[in-house]
Structure 1
């Protein structure tokens, strides 16, 4: 993969790659503000999906499971400016603002600010800095991040309920969470963290609830979802193996044949 990252600071970067696609399943530790220069991205969550392309600007909230698939497009690389809105910086920003009445906790969605002139000009102003050879001044980087937060609040006052919420995941219902998010191919440690459990507690609670190991249960659920897409939605194996939580097509085909007795390609 031809993949390049340039940093102004650890929290501001320019990513570029030219391969066919790049796919990852992750939970971001910090909120991420992204401006697409070229290429396209598909973001898949448990109950919705998003498609972004050149010129789009969006905010991915922290601690949200998502499958992210990035593509070059129209002969141009996938290229984006990414800014991390860390908890430390947000606490500093909100220390002077009263938001007690605005924070209503619910599952945050991805916020889209496509082609907004305020945000686009703010993020576009960063481009020349990526060519600097000397260290970028931290105080200026901080000002640019604070500027972005101010613009986000000006565009959408409701965003305070996400940016000003500094709580970590608490212990939640295991069945509700796993039935909603099993298709994300994440380490068990991350499943545990997002359900408010240590890895050992997660494994213990899972076995008690399902009378099965997490790994076996996850594989079974992902294959059942794949079978549904292949038979009911008439999709091709190459179109769905990543979306149901498998790393590559060959592993998916092997697991599917072992479960159902025939290759997924035979369904069509």
Structure 2
């Protein structure tokens, strides 16, 4: 994978993947506003799959689990403008506003297609990626502008952007059954379920009577078998969507579990 990035600040970047494919399982620590210039992305969450391409603008809320799969398209690389909306910056923005967000747990990605104000705001960033000397306050001004536009476009967005709570302790079994396909470090799973790593492992053993890694591997293979047998998906697509990092490891683990390779279900 050849990856290139240009920065105005650490919160605003022009991201470019030149190769044919890039996949990552991610937990977003900050809200991310993304504008597509070229290429294509598939974002897989526990209950839905999104497809984005040139011209699309979307907001991914923080503390969300997702599998990100990036592709070039029509001979063009996967290229996006990415703006991070950090908790610190949002606290400053909302400091003097009388906003009381409703607390809700949402996996929703907010999509904003063909909105002239938001697209104009993000397009105005492009010249700055070519400049060596950048006005010192430009990033802060542009992020403030973007937040203001988002609030005009969707009144419910305050419930996301002005919510500064950290994950609390939640039902471990329900959460893991819903999110096992994301290949994240155990530290991330423990944080998102409101536990220390030691408490997470101890509670996991009580609930599932096995280790997290063994349980995760079994669950991912069972989901893969269903996707191949019932949904007739291709092994390469199933491999990445259920949490494996490469096709050879997936094929080896699948055959060890079921006695035949993934391709055996295609016949």
TM-score norm. by structure 1 comes to: 0.97
Tell me what 2:128 maps to.
129
**Which residue in the other structure is 1:243 paired with?**
241
2:40 is aligned to 40
User: 2:202 is matched with which residue?
Assistant: 204
- Counterpart for residue 228 of structure 1: 226
Q: Deviations over 1:179-202 (max 9, x none)?
A: 000000111110000000111111
Say which SS state the counterpart of residue 36 (structure 2) adopts. strand
In the TM superposition, what is the alpha-carbon distance from 1:160 to its structure 2 partner?
0.4
Q: In structure 1, how many angstroms separate the alpha carbons of the residues matched to 2:159 and 2:13?
A: 26
Structure 2 unaligned residues grouped into runs of 5+: none
Count of matched residue pairs: 266
Question: Is structure 2 residue 255 aligned with structure 1 residue 257?
Answer: yes
- Deviation string, structure 1 residues 113-158 (Cα, Å, up to 9, x no partner): 0121000000000000001113x34422101100000000000011
Counterpart in the other structure of 1:106: 105
Which is further off, 106-115 or 212-221?
Answer: 106-115
In the TM superposition, residue 108 of structure 1 has moved relative to its aligned partner by 4.0
Match of 1:191 in 2: 189
- Once residues 138 and 237 of structure 2 are traced to their aligned partners in structure 1, the CA distance between those partners, rounded to angstroms, is 44
Please give the secondary structure, in 2, of the residue aligned with 1:238: helix
Q: CA RMSD in A?
A: 0.9
Match of 1:69?
69
SS for the counterpart of 1:197 is: coil
- Looking at structure 2, the residues matched to 123 and 21 of structure 1 have their Cα atoms a distance apart, in angstroms, of 25
Find the residue that maps to 2:6 and give its secondary structure: strand
SS at match of 2:224: helix
Q: Is 1:242–1:248's contact at 8 Å kept on the other side of the alignment?
A: yes
Q: CA deviation at 1:107?
A: 1.5
Change (3 A) 1:108 1:250: closer
CA distance in 1, matches of 2:237, 2:49: 15
The answer to whether the Cα contact below 8 Å between 1:108 and 1:162 also exists between their aligned partners in 2 is: no
Extract structure 1 runs of 4+ deviating beyond 4 A.
Answer: none
- Alpha-carbon distance in structure 1 between the residues aligned to 2:69 and 2:196: 29
SS in 1 for 2:137: helix
Aligned to 1:53: 53
Relative to structure 1, the CA distance from residue 168 to residue 138 in structure 2 (aligned partners, 3 Å threshold; closer, same or farther) is farther
Matching residue of 1:118: 117
| Residue 213 (str. 1) matches residue 241 (str. 2) | no
CA–CA distance in 2 between the matches of 1:108 and 1:244? 18
CA positional deviation for 1:238: 1.2
Counterpart Cα distance in 2 of 1:40 and 1:131: 24
User: Which blocks of at least 5 consecutive residues in structure 1 are unaligned?
Assistant: none
How far apart in 2 are the matches of 1:31 and 1:137?
Answer: 24
